[in-house]
Amino acid sequence: MNINRQNLQGDKSQDKELVWFAGEVKTPPFSSEARIEAGYLLRLLQKGEFLSMPESRPMPSIGSRCHELRINDENKTWRIVYRIDKDVILVVDVFAKKTNKTPDAVIKRCQKRLKQYDAIY
């Protein structure tokens, strides 16, 4: 498992790093507006801000400290599943939301990735 780490404002040592699973979490075909919104919300999380509805909601079915960002795009609604750790914002998955319920396959995939990450870090 490859992990990518990035501090979007590299000189801000108090900011949390943004971490994702290289090769597993892929950048979706966001519109430029949705990409800007996602980047802005991730930056707020890095700065330690807590987001709530409608931008984000808790995902206890995946694990503790897990949430999903809700990104409305031109013709799709995207979800970015993330976990807030002490020192990082861990991006666990990105997917297009097609139903009201998060698919079981997404929940299981996220739980598996978190287990792998926690075993290493």
Q: What is the average per-residue pLDDT within 17-32?
A: 83
pLDDT attached to residue 5: 57
Q: What is the average per-residue pLDDT within 68-84?
A: 95
Instruction: Provide, rounded to the nearest whole percent, the portion of the chain with pLDDT above 70.
Output: 88
Q: Is the pLDDT of residue 4 over 70?
A: no
Taking the complete model, does pTM exceed 0.75, yes or no? yes
Query: Using CA atoms, how far apart are residues 119 and 114, in angstroms rounded to an integer?
Result: 9
pLDDT attached to residue 3: 59
> How would DSSP label each residue in 33-92?
HHHHHHHHHHHHHHTTPPP-TTTEEE-TTT-TTEEEEEEE-SS-EEEEEEEE-SSEEEEE
Over residues 39-73, the pLDDT tens digits come to 999 999 999 999 999 999 999 999 999 999 999 99
Query: Using CA atoms, how far apart are residues 9 and 32, in angstroms rounded to an integer?
Result: 20
Q: Where are the domains of the chain?
A: 2-120
- Tokens 């996220």 correspond to 110
